[in-house]
Amino acid sequence: MVWTTIKNWVSGENLTHINFNEQMQQNMRHILEGNIRTVEVRQGITDPISLAANGWLPIDPIVQYVKINTTGAHIEIALSISIYNSGVSGYTDLDILVKPAGEPSFFLSSLTQTPTGLWREQAGSNYTRTRSYRFLWEFVDKKEYIIQAWWKANVGNNFANYTNTVSQFTVKEWGK
Amino acid sequence: MAWHDPITWVFKTTILSATLLNQQIRDNLNYLKSKPKAVAVLSGSDQTGITTAWVKVTGSDLQIDVDDTVDLNFIIRLHVRSTTGEARVGIDIWDADNNVYLSSGTLTPKTWGFGITSIATANIGHSIAFNIIVPNISDGIHNYEIRIISSHAATTIDHTNSKNQIAVREI
B55 vs chain A: nearest CA distance in angstroms? 23
A166 pLDDT higher than 90: no
A54 pLDDT higher than 70: yes
Taking the model in full, what pTM does it have? 0.81
Burial classification of residue B2, based on how many CB atoms lie within 10 Å of its CB (0-12 exposed, 13-18 middle, 19 or more buried): exposed
Angle value at C-alpha B94, between B90 and B97, nearest 5 degrees: 175
What is the per-residue burial (b if ≥16 Cβ within 10 Å, else e) of A67-93?
ebebbebbbbbbbbbbbbbeeeebbbb
A126 pLDDT higher than 70: no
Dist CA B164 CA A82 (whole Å): 20
* Stretch among A27-31, A84-88, A167-171, B144-148 having the lowest mean pLDDT: A84-88
Residues of B in Cβ contact (< 8 Å) with A108: 163
| CB–CB contact A138 B129 (8 Å) | no
- Residue of B161, B146, B156, B80 whose CA lies nearest to A109: B161
pLDDT in tens, A133-153: 889 999 999 999 999 999 998
Kindly state the percentage of chain A with pLDDT values over 90: 37
B118 pLDDT higher than 80: no
B36 touches chain A (CB under 8 A): yes
| CB–CB contact B162 A119 (8 Å) | yes
A106 touches chain B (CB under 8 A): no
